[in-house]
């Protein structure tokens, strides 16, 4: 199933209109309509927000990006490129969102001022939290 159809299905499962979904996504409802119909390519930077607003599990979302019936000379390569573009866009957006947080910037500055040994110790503790 093409990605645009997956997106429409998820919106319908949430039982929200295109207008409501577009408001949550911060886009015009006519653009969302075109995305769902496959008439307009979804901007890569909108993908992380779509996943978050529609509460699509990360693994499922990645599968949706790969699941396409578009005619292509190399659909496997196209799927990998789509996945790679999504990951890059998601990481960029996450970095921007984190950097916008005043407390996060403060913590980064404090981390940069630590002695190497103290910084390494703190990073090890953070990695342990991430493993949970």
Q: What is the pLDDT of residues 15-70, one digit of tens each?
A: 999 999 999 999 999 999 999 998 988 888 898 899 999 999 988 888 888 765 45
Where in the sequence is the domain holding 109, given as residue range(s)? 101-132
If one counts every other C-beta atom within 10 angstroms of the C-beta of residue 9, the result is 14
pLDDT-derived band at 126 (thresholds 50, 70, 90) equals confident
| Same domain, residue pair 91 and 109 | no
80, 106: one domain: no
pLDDT at 132 over 70: no
pTM beyond 0.85, yes or no: no
Split into its structural domains, the chain has a count of: 2
Provide mean pLDDT across the span 2-17: 93
First-to-final CA distance of the chain? 35
Q: Are both 79 and 113 inside the same structural domain?
A: no
Nearest of 59, 77, 56 to residue 68 by alpha carbon: 77
Q: Are residues 27 and 89 in the same domain?
A: yes
Contact 15, 26 (CB under 8 A): no
- The pLDDT, as a whole number, for residue 20 is 96
pLDDT for residue 128: 78
């Amino acid at each position: 199933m093409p990605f645009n159809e997956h997106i429409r299905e998820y919106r319908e499962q949430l039982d929200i209109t295109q207008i409501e979904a577009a408001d949550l996504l911060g886009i015009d409802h006519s653009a969302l309509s075109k995305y769902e119909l496959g008439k307009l390519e979804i901007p890569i930077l909108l993908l992380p927000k779509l996943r978050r607003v529609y509460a699509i599990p990360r693994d499922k979302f990645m599968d949706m990006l790969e699941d396409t019936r578009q005619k292509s000379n190399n659909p496997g390569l196209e799927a990998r490129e789509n996945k790679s573009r999504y990951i890059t866009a998601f990481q960029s957006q996450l970095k921007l969102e984190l950097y916008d947080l005043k407390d996060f910037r403060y913590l980064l500055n404090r981390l940069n001022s630590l002695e190497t040994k103290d910084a390494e110790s703190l990073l090890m503790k953070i990695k342990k939290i991430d493993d949970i």
